[in-house]
Amino acid sequence: MSLHTTALGGLVAFIGVGGLSCTAYSATSVHCGNFAVQVLYTNVEYLDSGAPGVGVGDQRFGHQQLSDANNEHIGDQYFHTIVVPGGSDEFHQAIVSGHTVFANGTIDWAGTGPIADPQAEANPGLPDEVRRSVVGGTGDFAGARGTVVTFYDDERRGTREFDIICLE
């Protein structure tokens, strides 16, 4: 079995299990428009397809817990990242897709951006924020379009600010 097949199978299994989980979220609900959530980087898996360190073909996938300003669990996020050619001398470029789950619906987003090296002690020069496109949703977020900006607070926590309209 090839590394690609193994990685794809693992990702499908990971997302399948995450998508079937029944999590009780706090009563806080979010709606189309502008809102922010806190991200706790809780479960990130790395698949290094070549030499140690970040390189073309490497993948990251995982689950992140989302909370509101009161630290209440309001949702979950599942994502997949693959490192592609491009970027700068300091950082590789990555394609990222995500599926954000709230009690009242889901939001799908995707985009590109620099990727940090998880084996490095520090990644100076990474941008403090990365902007990606919202490309769809379900439930209260059906037809969602807009942007999601990730602001990096530190290694384990960040903020995602959504600015979306819902078309349906």
Taking only the tens place, the pLDDT of each residue in 11-50 is 443 444 444 444 667 656 789 999 999 988 778 898 988 8
pLDDT at 21: 44
Phi, psi (5° rounding) for residue 139?
A: 60, -135
Neighbouring C-alpha atoms within 13 Å toward the C-beta of 116? 16
DSSP three-state, residue 76 = strand
The domains of the chain, with CATH numbers, are: 3-166 (2.40.480.10)
pTM of the model: 0.79
8 Å CB contact between 78 and 62: yes
Amino acid letter, residue 35: F
* Beta-carbon contacts of residue 80 (< 8 Å; ≥ 6 apart): 11, 15, 59, 60, 61, 96, 97, 98
pLDDT at 65: 93
Q: Show the low-confidence residues of the chain (pLDDT under 50).
A: 1-22
Closest C-alpha among 167, 166, 168 to residue 33: 166
